[in-house]
């Protein structure tokens, strides 16, 4: 396969002669997919039929061996499935249909069926095998692919040929062609190991090829927080035994299986029942059951009669103390993750450490703490940690006031009986204190959101009107600046007038009807009797109403003046009917003049009041590397075009309809997400507090209630140029618990 790969890709002697696009790279990789699966099947066959060190004992089972032989006898089907699924995942960016193991959530674990749990463990084992194999070759690939995606920094999660995409394609292929779950479980890990070895070779060849063509790798992120987690990457300390924490036990904790009270001790009642048990010939079973029963260190409860009709052959229920131990372990690990989170400031971590004993007592007495994300105990921790993300330093304005409320809460918990009601009372107290602090900011946000909502409605309606106006002048010879004015500025005027109308009129101020007069007054046409006289009569009123409409929406005065200068020049020439050469010359120049009006179909437009109230960040006003932005946008457009072409060629039936490679779309951000935005050479920590219904406008709010709103295009630009960084897109406490679930998954693999 290695030789085939090098022959296919080639090595450029002159980098300027061969500069592959992202689509070229993906196509080359996918052409090797069939060979990858062939190597995997060959390795499985060797393990089943080999001798000595190449022989795999698990493959000697009749069912497993038979399956391997069947796959080798007819490899085309599974190879085709693997290639098809890999192609789909690659061209969708690997972002869809993610399996449970990749998006394992602590709170969702209780909903898992046994089959889903097994599948999570199965996939995790496979990913572990491949990750170990490609560990040394993957970083170079991530760096080069990130460059081809238009990023300056390495973005491993956006790499469309990252290892987990291949693993998921392998798992899908095995699920389709190996129906027996036990056989598939025996095959998935060895198959993933074989895939990893060959994928490592493929990654190295891709790296050599891309480097030889002159593609420069992206740079590492440095000390920046990785994705949306602030975890330091250090393993959780082993202060508590982790032997209890597995996915199966964690799920039982969440579903309340450990809440069943311990059955009463009945060892001293055995002699009284021995005669009957001997008669039933169950003596040996009972003794064996009693011997295997876990020892209980607590004092035995009062004796209860033995249910002689019970099935003594069934295993004894797990003692409740296992659930208690597991719950304490989960709480401890959760706090360990919180205390290692680099996004939380040291003073807050000290207060969390003070609260930890109270949370331990709460979780021991009330297991709903684990299964209910709305539990008051969870809510208190969640609200405190989320609010703390507004601050990047203990010197930030507002921090002393915030930390004082947390310190008061810590002291208050030390003096109370700990239960859910206690935390509910604390939650209410904190919310009331913060509500008073946030009152001014809340009013500002509401006003800003109101202004932005009106702006979105106006812009969406303006886009429809713009299409109508363009159609009106489609076959008419009018100046370009007039066309641009109609589909931009005047479409906004008409849309605003329609939205402000309360009596149901579609044209309350006659701005829509004015369009026909404007077009007639500026079109090049043969002389008509009475045209000059009619123009003289209509022009004053036409100009007055147009100025009125533009003032109504606060359109920029410089653009307004430029338009009227050109328009008046055309009108003068039309009235004089070409009799004055100088006037006609000026009219000809105005006819060919660029309009200067922004394209509302590309960029949202807000008036002065809306900009001021919402803290609008204009696309044109961003202080970014213009050269880099242009190259990023060009690369993204080229990549998307090529990907769409390749997707259509790959499979008529399963070709993806949407390409998600490159920078994440704005809809990936959810309300509540904390980000850092670089605005005017400064980094600002802010939270996404509002998104318009059609996701065209977004509002972020920083500490103190300052709003920073922007359009979809601006947000895209900020993200693609690394001027907007996600700090946390989910609650910090949820992330810490999710890491506990990931630890349980790792323990399940042992």
Sign of the torsion angle spanned by Cα atoms 127, 130, 132, 136 = negative
Task: Provide the pLDDT confidence category of residue 243 given band limits of 50, 70 and 90.
Answer: low
Same domain membership, residue 582 and residue 457: yes
Q: Report phi then psi at 724, rounded to 5.
A: -140, 120
In this prediction, residue 303 carries a pLDDT of 41
Kindly state the percentage of the chain with pLDDT values over 90.
Answer: 32
Both 187 and 62 in one domain: the answer is yes
Give the containing element (helix H, strand E) for 701.
strand 697-702
SS3 string of 551-575?
A: HHCCCCHHHHHHHHHHHHHHHHHHH
Residue 250 lies in a domain: no
Higher pLDDT, 304 or 442: 442
Number of domains present in the structure of the chain: 5
Q: What is the pLDDT of residues 600-620, one digit of tens each?
A: 445 678 888 888 888 888 766
Nearest to 747 by CA among 245, 392, 32: 245
CA distance linking residue 28 with residue 346, whole number of Å = 49
Cβ–Cβ under 8 Å, residues 216 and 43 = no
Picking from 397, 400, 402, the residue whose alpha carbon sits closest to that of residue 433 is 402
Query: What are the beta bridge partners of residue 701?
Result: 687, 707
The predicted pLDDT at position 100 comes to: 38
User: What sign for the dihedral angle of Cα 340, 227, 172, 162?
Assistant: negative
Please state, in angstroms and rounded to a whole number, the distance separating the CA atoms of residues 426 and 280: 58
d(CA 93, CA 442): 38
Query: Could you tell me the two tokens for 653?
Result: 């039936």
Taking only the tens place, the pLDDT of each residue in 488-537 is 899 999 999 999 887 767 888 899 999 999 999 888 765 567 788 888 99
What is the pLDDT, as a whole number, of residue 717? 86
Q: Which pLDDT score, from 0 to 100, does residue 230 have?
A: 52
Residues 170 and 300 in one domain: no
Question: 262 or 686, which is more confident?
Answer: 686
User: What b/e string do you get for 361-383 counting C-beta neighbours within 10 Å, with b at 16 or more?
Assistant: bbbbebbbbbbbeebbbbbbbbb
CA dist., res. 312 & res. 284, Å (int): 11
Burial per residue of 213-243, b for 16 or more beta-carbon CB atoms within 10 angstroms, e otherwise: bebebbeeeeeebeebbbbeeeebeeebebe
Question: b or e along 91-106 (b: 16 or more beta carbons within 10 Å of the residue's beta carbon)?
Answer: bbbbeeeebbbeebeb
148 vs 524, residue with greater confidence: 148
Report the helix count and the strand count for the chain, using DSSP H and E.
28, 5
Residue 728 and residue 715 share a domain: yes
Write out pLDDT tens, residues 332-354: 999 999 999 999 999 999 999 99
What single DSSP character describes residue 710? Answer: E
3-state secondary structure of 724: strand
pLDDT at residue 406, as a whole number = 95
pLDDT value at 638 more than 60 = no
Cα atoms in the Cβ-side hemisphere of radius 13 Å centred on 631? 12
CB distance 70 to 92 below 8 Å: no
Model confidence at 369, pLDDT cuts 50, 70, 90, reads very high
Which CATH number belongs to the domain containing residue 674 in this structure?
2.30.30.140
Which bin fits 530, alpha (ψ -120 to 50), beta or left (φ > 0)?
left
User: Are 131 and 1 a contacting pair, CB within 8 Å?
Assistant: no
Q: Are residues 268 and 417 in the same domain?
A: no
* Sign (positive or negative) of CA dihedral 291, 294, 297, 300: negative
* Mean pLDDT within 661-679: 71
Q: Are residues 85 and 200 in the same domain?
A: yes
243 falls within a domain: no
- Residue 452 near residue 692 (C-beta atoms within 8 A): yes
pLDDT of 289 > 70? The answer is no
Hey, what are 35's tokens? 């060979």
Identify the DSSP state of 648: H
What one-character-per-residue DSSP string does 727-743 give? EESS-HHHHHHHHHHHH
- Is residue 652's pLDDT more than 50? no
How confident is the model over 72-88, as a mean pLDDT?
Answer: 91
Domain span holding position 389: 322-439
Q: Which of 54-68, 693-707, 714-728 has the lowest mean pLDDT?
A: 54-68
pLDDT digit string, tens, across residues 2-42: 444 443 455 444 544 567 888 889 999 999 999 999 999 98
Q: How far apart are CA 239 and CA 38, in angstroms?
A: 46
Three-class secondary structure of residue 40 per DSSP = helix
Look-up of token digits 């993200």? 719
- Beta bridge partners, 687, equal 674, 701
Cβ(253)–Cβ(330) below 8 Å: yes
- Tell me the C-alpha distance between 684 and 84, whole Å: 44
Of 399, 421, 439, which one is at a domain's C-terminal end?
439
- Report helix, strand or coil for 422: helix
Q: Give the pLDDT confidence of 736-748 residue by residue, as tens digits.
A: 998 888 888 777 7
Q: State the average pLDDT for the chain.
A: 77
d(CA 724, CA 19): 29
Phi, psi of 691 (to 5 degrees): -135, 135
Q: How far is CA 526 from CA 166, 341, 388, 530, 577, in A?
A: 68, 75, 71, 12, 10
- Kindly report, residue by residue over 544-574, the tens digit of the pLDDT: 999 999 999 888 888 888 889 889 988 888 8
Higher pLDDT, 740 or 651: 740
Return d(Cα 249, Cα 740) in angstroms, integer. Answer: 12
The pLDDT, as a whole number, for residue 129 is 86
For residue 711, list its beta bridge partners. 697
Residues 459 and 546 in one domain: yes
Measure the CA–CA gap between 203 and 138, rounded to whole angstroms.
7
Residue 234 lies in a domain: no
Q: What is the pLDDT of residue 51?
A: 65
Whether residue 632 is predicted with pLDDT greater than 70 in this model: the reply is: no
Report helix, strand or coil for 584.
helix
pLDDT digits (tens, 9 = 90+) for 172-229: 999 899 888 888 888 888 899 999 999 999 999 999 999 988 898 988 865 444 444 4
Give the C-alpha separation, 614 to 603, whole Å.
Answer: 16
| Token couple for 221 | 């992120």
Find the radius of gyration of the CA atoms of the chain. 34
Q: 121 and 171, same structural domain?
A: yes
Q: In whole angstroms, give the CA distance from residue 671 to residue 66.
A: 53
Run of H or E residues at 522: helix 514-522
Instruction: Check whether 93 has a pLDDT greater than 90.
Output: no
Buried b (16+ CB within 10 A) or exposed e, 113-132: eeebbbbbbbbbbbbbbbee
Please report how the helices 732-748 and 247-255 are oriented relative to each other, as an axis angle in degrees rounded to 10.
130
At 248 the three-state DSSP class reads: helix
705 is a domain residue: yes
Residues 296/319, Cβ–Cβ less than 8 Å: yes
Mean pLDDT in residue range 612-638: 58
Same domain as 59, residue 159: yes
Cβ atoms of 315 and 725 closer than 8 Å? no
Pairing of strands 697-702, 707-711: antiparallel
323 vs 368 pLDDT, higher one: 368
- Burial annotation 479-518 (CB, 10 A radius, 16+ → b, else e): bebbbbbbbbbbbbbbbbbbeeeeeeeeeebebbebbebb
Residue 402: strand, helix, or coil = helix
In a domain, 221, yes or no: no
Domain ends where: 553, 583, 614? Answer: 614
Classify residue 246: in a domain, yes or no. Answer: no
Find, among 177, 145, 231, 144, the residue nearest to 37 by Cα.
177
> In the beta sheet, which residues pair with residue 686?
675, 702
Phi and psi, residue 5, nearest 5°? -60, -45
For residue 512, being part of any structural domain is answered with: yes
| 3 state DSSP class of 714 | helix
CA distance 534 to 528: 10
Q: Domain boundary at 614, 637, 657, which?
A: 614
Q: Which of 678-682, 690-694, 717-721 has the highest mean pLDDT?
A: 690-694
Residues 604 and 647 in one domain: no
Per-residue pLDDT averaged across 104-113, rounded? Answer: 74
Are 44 and 179 in the same domain?
yes
Instruction: Tell whether 510 is covered by a domain.
Output: yes
The pLDDT value recorded for residue 685 is: 94
Do 267 and 357 reside in the same domain of the chain?
A: no
């Amino acid at each position: 396969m290695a030789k085939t790969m090098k022959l296919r890709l080639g090595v450029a002697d002159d980098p300027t002669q061969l500069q592959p696009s992202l689509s070229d790279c993906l196509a080359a990789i996918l052409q090797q997919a069939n060979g990858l699966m062939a190597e995997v099947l060959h390795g499985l066959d060797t393990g089943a039929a080999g001798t000595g060190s190449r022989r795999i004992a698990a493959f000697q089972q009749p069912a497993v061996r038979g399956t391997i032989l069947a796959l080798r006898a007819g490899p085309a089907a599974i190879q085709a499935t693997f290639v098809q699924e890999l192609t789909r995942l690659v061209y969708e960016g690997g972002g869809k249909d993610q399996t449970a193991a990749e998006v394992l959530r602590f709170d969702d674990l209780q909903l898992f069926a046994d089959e889903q749990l097994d599948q999570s463990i199965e996939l995790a084992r496979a990913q572990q095998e491949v990750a170990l194999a490609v560990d040394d070759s993957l970083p170079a690939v991530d760096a080069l692919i990130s460059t081809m995606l238009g990023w300056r920094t390495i973005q491993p999660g956006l790499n469309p040929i990252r290892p987990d995409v291949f693993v998921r394609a392998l798992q899908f292929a095995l699920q389709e062609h190996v129906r027996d779950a036990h056989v598939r479980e025996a095959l998935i890990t060895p198959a993933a190991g074989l895939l990893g070895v060959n994928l490592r070779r493929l990654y190295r060849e891709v790296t050599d090829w891309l480097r030889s063509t002159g593609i420069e790798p992206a740079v590492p992120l440095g000390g920046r927080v990785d994705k949306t987690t602030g975890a330091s990457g250090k393993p959780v300390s082993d202060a508590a035994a982790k032997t209890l924490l597995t996915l199966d036990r964690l799920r039982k904790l969440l579903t309340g299986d450990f809440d069943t009270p311990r059955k009463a001790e009945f060892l001293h009642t055995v002699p009284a029942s021995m005669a009957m048990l001997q008669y039933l010939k169950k003596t040996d079973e009972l003794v064996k059951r009693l011997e295997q029963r876990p020892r209980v260190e607590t004092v035995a409860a009062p004796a209860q009669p033995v249910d002689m009709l019970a099935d003594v052959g069934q295993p004894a229920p797990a003692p409740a103390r296992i659930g208690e131990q597991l719950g304490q372990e989960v709480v401890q690990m959760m706090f360990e993750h919180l205390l290692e989170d680099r996004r939380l400031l040291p003073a807050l971590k000290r207060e969390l450490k003070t609260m930890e004993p109270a949370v331990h007592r709460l979780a021991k007495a009330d297991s709903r703490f684990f299964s209910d994300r709305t539990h008051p105990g969870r809510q208190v921790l969640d609200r405190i940690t989320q609010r703390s993300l507004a601050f990047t330093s203990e010197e930030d304005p507002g921090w002393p006031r915030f930390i004082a409320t947390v310190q008061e809460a810590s002291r208050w918990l030390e003096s109370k009986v700990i239960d859910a009601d206690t935390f509910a009372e604390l939650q209410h107290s904190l919310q009331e204190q913060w509500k008073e602090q946030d009152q001014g900011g809340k009013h500002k946000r509401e006003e800003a959101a109101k202004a932005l909502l009106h702006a979105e409605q106006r812009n969406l309606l303006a886009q429809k009107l713009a299409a109508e106006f363009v159609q009106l002048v489609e076959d008419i010879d009018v100046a370009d600046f007039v066309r641009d004015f109609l589909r931009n500025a005047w479409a906004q005027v008409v849309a605003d007038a329609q939205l402000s109308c309360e009596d149901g009129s579609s044209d309350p101020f006659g701005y829509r009807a004015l369009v026909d007069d404007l077009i007639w007054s500026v079109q090049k046409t043969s002389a008509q009797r009475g045209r000059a006289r009619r123009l003289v009569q209509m022009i004053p009123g036409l100009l007055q109403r147009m100025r009125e409409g533009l003032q109504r929406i606060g359109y920029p005065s410089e653009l307004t003046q430029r338009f009227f200068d050109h328009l008046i020049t055309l009108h003068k020439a039309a009235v004089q009917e070409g009799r004055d050469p100088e006037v006609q010359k000026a009219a000809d120049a105005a006819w060919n003049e660029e309009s200067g009006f922004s394209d509302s179909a590309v960029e949202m437009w807000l008036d002065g009041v809306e900009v001021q109230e919402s803290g609008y960040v204009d696309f044109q006003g961003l202080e970014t590397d213009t050269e880099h932005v242009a190259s990023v946008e060009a690369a993204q457009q080229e990549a998307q075009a090529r990907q769409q072409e390749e997707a259509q060629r790959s499979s008529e039936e399963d070709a993806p309809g949407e390409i998600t490679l490159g920078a994440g779309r704005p809809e990936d951000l959810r309300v509540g997400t904390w980000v850092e935005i670089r605005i005017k050479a400064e980094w600002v920590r802010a939270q996404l507090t509002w998104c318009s219904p059609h996701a065209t406008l977004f509002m972020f709010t920083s500490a103190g209630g300052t709003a920073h709103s922007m359009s979809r295009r601006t947000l895209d630009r900020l993200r693609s140029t690394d001027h907007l960084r996600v700090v946390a897109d989910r609650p910090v406490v949820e992330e810490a618990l999710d890491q506990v679930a990931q630890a349980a998954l790792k323990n399940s693999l042992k």
